[in-house]
Structure 1
């Protein structure tokens, strides 16, 4: 099929149609930035040809060179056969207007906390300039730590993760944004390596996938680091540790913000006396909670 495509497909429009057909036929899963086979095909083709990602129409009828055609068909084939997420093929991922280097050492950035940071966590933080210390726990690629630095310009930020491989990626992204003087990369199993630290703000997008959900994940997710996804039988293993220890690492008026996937009901059953504030996101109010220091379980 791909040998025939090399000789018969001529234009970007031809290759786009071919990619959408192959992606649909392969039953690919789109949960790492694109919403459909068409969106993913457009992104992969434009990226491979070094064209602007927001400009497709002017190039649709452009004829490709032999080398360009082979490059595009190669990435289409890898996406289809290996079921590699697009971000691992292009080595980049986006959160809003920010792009980050990623590879198989880190989970692909996707977090509702990112959209909350665009508004500097309004209304829960009234004066962003008063945030002087912040922690991104389970930082992975460092993406949320970098967004923290942009949202709170007076804050010194710690970015912690258990994985030294993930932290190598985070360090690369921190360098790319010239934030080495503001973001401190720390190897730590949750709070274990942060003894004596206190923060005005702690955010975390920890592992939160339950054992049952892990067993049913599409192939694309199986390329991501297992320990960045799995969190025990009910998906709350990491979140429990965070809730039980966060008060020791927050200043008196400090805030804790955690993303937990689809685990709201399970979490509220496990901590029935904890007054969670559920923050509205683009997908609803069941994915991210906020707690003040004095509301944390004792």
Structure 2
């Protein structure tokens, strides 16, 4: 963190040179797109192309609303603002560090979260499922949910979403990483949810002995061994603990399926993201009727199972 802040406060000669020639929001977005495209960056931590990446950096870097750039296209920037944006753009290229880490901010379904390298950058199709206008069909009455838990919570974003979406629920969140939980703690405090959302440090369900829930959500690590060897440089800045999941990418999911049943109330269920491991999961459990929940941006990457469908 100190290195990042220092770098932004003292722009490199390259950043100073860029800042001296660019003046408006439009200038910096255009430059960012050109610089990123030429550098063949990898996207996937909140954006999926050079334009959206540049827009995010400019709007977030200037503390402007993240959902509308049109009013600001021709706004002229101060020298300090120009040097800051130029520094972030150059650091994004030179270090391959995701923009969310450079700016300590990530968004899920329009909700802002603090983030740094202690936790995985928030991204999950589960958020898209839960936040749909017509809700998640397997939970017909969000008001009826009285308890929920987020396993492998990381920065706490899904747990915080659950606390907002299920107004009558007490929410727990668990992670093995104490560093990640420090990030989650800040996010919980930022949303004023200390009395509704409790954080636990431990391995999956271990710290929850004797507790049961109406709803389990989990976005566990699911990158297989081969995938870990070929991740783009951007992912090297994220905690390996939050990505790696054994030879087949299912090491954590196997345990979740084995343990989840005894932590669910009757009628409850588990919503779990597994990425592209769905076919391997179905092959490993041919008798389990996984219900795959598609989203606008995914197909067959999140499953739902009721308590009675889980292994006994």
**TM-score category of the 2 structures, normalised to the smaller one:** over 0.9
> Which of residues 288, 295, 299 is equivalent to 1:285?
299
Number of matched pairs? 298
1 CA distance for matches of 2:23 and 2:145?
55
Q: Which residue of 2 aligns with 1:25?
A: 38
Query: What is the deviation of 1:253?
Result: 1.5
2 CA distance for matches of 1:193 and 1:186?
7
> Which of residues 117, 123, 126 is equivalent to 1:113?
126
Contact 2:175 2:181 in 1 (8 A): yes
The SS at the match of 2:129 is: helix
Residue 290 of structure 2 is aligned to residue 263 of structure 1:
no
Q: Which residue of 1 aligns with 2:226?
A: 212
Query: What is the deviation of 1:121?
Result: 4.9
Question: Against the structure 1 CA distance between its residues 268 and 55, is the aligned structure 2 distance closer, same or farther, given a 3 Å change threshold?
Answer: closer
Question: Against the structure 1 CA distance between its residues 7 and 189, is the aligned structure 2 distance closer, same or farther, given a 3 Å change threshold?
Answer: same
- RMSD, matched Cα: 1.5
2 CA distance for matches of 1:175 and 1:6?
36
Query: What is the deviation of 1:15?
Result: 2.3
Q: Which residue of 2 aligns with 1:253?
A: 267
Residues 79-136 of structure 1: per-residue CA shift (max 9 Å, x gap)? 0100111110111111112111110011011111111111485321122222111110
2 CA distance for matches of 1:153 and 1:58?
35
Contact 2:150 2:174 in 1 (8 A): yes
1 CA distance for matches of 2:21 and 2:269?
59
Q: Which residue of 2 aligns with 1:125?
A: 139
Q: More deviation in 159-168 or 63-72?
A: 63-72
Query: What is the deviation of 1:157?
Result: 0.8
> Which of residues 98, 102, 116 is equivalent to 2:115?
102
Residue 163 of structure 2 is aligned to residue 149 of structure 1:
yes
Query: What is the deviation of 1:58?
Result: 3.4
The SS at the match of 2:77 is: coil
**Mind listing any 5+ residue stretches in structure 1 that lack a counterpart?**
none
The normalised TM-score by structure 1 is 0.95
Map 1:147-186; keep pairs closer than 5 Å: 147-186=161-200
**Mind listing any 5+ residue stretches in structure 2 that lack a counterpart?**
1-13
1 CA distance for matches of 2:260 and 2:23?
58
Residues 125-160 of structure 1: per-residue CA shift (max 9 Å, x gap)? 122222111110000011011111111111111100
The normalised TM-score by structure 2 is 0.91
Q: More deviation in 27-36 or 41-50?
A: 41-50
Q: Which residue of 2 aligns with 1:42?
A: 55
Query: What is the deviation of 1:22?
Result: 1.1
The SS at the match of 2:308 is: helix
2 CA distance for matches of 1:277 and 1:52?
37
Question: Against the structure 1 CA distance between its residues 45 and 271, is the aligned structure 2 distance closer, same or farther, given a 3 Å change threshold?
Answer: same
Question: Against the structure 1 CA distance between its residues 183 and 71, is the aligned structure 2 distance closer, same or farther, given a 3 Å change threshold?
Answer: same
Query: What is the deviation of 1:242?
Result: 0.2
